[in-house]
Amino acid sequence: MKFLVDRCAGRRLATWLVNQGHDVVDSRVLGPDPGDRALLQRAVAELRIVVTIDTDFPKLVFLGGEAHAGMVRLPDVSAEQRIRLLESVIERHASDLEARAIVTVKGGKVRISRRGA
């Protein structure tokens, strides 16, 4: 899968994804933060799933009507926990991610939304 990892999701998560064989852009290597809208637009142009802990990306999609190529919103937990959560999301919801769903992990629950896809 192709991912764009937001800087708040962490370098360790981006590195783990690369080590799992995924095509990953770590937003940290893109230079100064261009802002969420620019990152979302890049992800759409490159058909990348955004991985973030930030609530601004879902707001851009659901409230702002921005296009997306899929998204995973993880909770603000340790890097190890984020990696385990993303691993579980990829294993259990790969077809949803490939269908450009938005996957939100919160409070031990996973919510899948295709609205705005």
Taking alpha carbons only, the member of 71, 65, 52, 64 closest to residue 113 is: 71
Query: Tokens for 3?
Result: 């991912």
Instruction: Please state the domain count of the chain.
Output: 1
The tens digit of pLDDT for each residue in 25-42 reads: 999 888 788 888 999 999
On the question of pLDDT at 116 being above 80, the answer is no
Taking alpha carbons only, the member of 17, 13, 4, 100 closest to residue 61 is: 100
The band of 117, judged by pLDDT with boundaries at 50, 70 and 90, is very low
Q: Is 75 helix (H, G, I), strand (E, B) or coil?
A: coil
Percent of the chain with pLDDT over 90: 73
The tens digit of pLDDT for each residue in 46-95 reads: 999 999 998 888 888 888 889 999 999 999 999 999 999 999 999 999 99
The tens digit of pLDDT for each residue in 6-19 reads: 999 989 999 999 99
d(CA 94, CA 114): 14
Q: Which domain holds residue 37?
A: 2-113
pLDDT recorded at residue 115: 58
Number of H helices and number of E strands within the chain? 4, 6
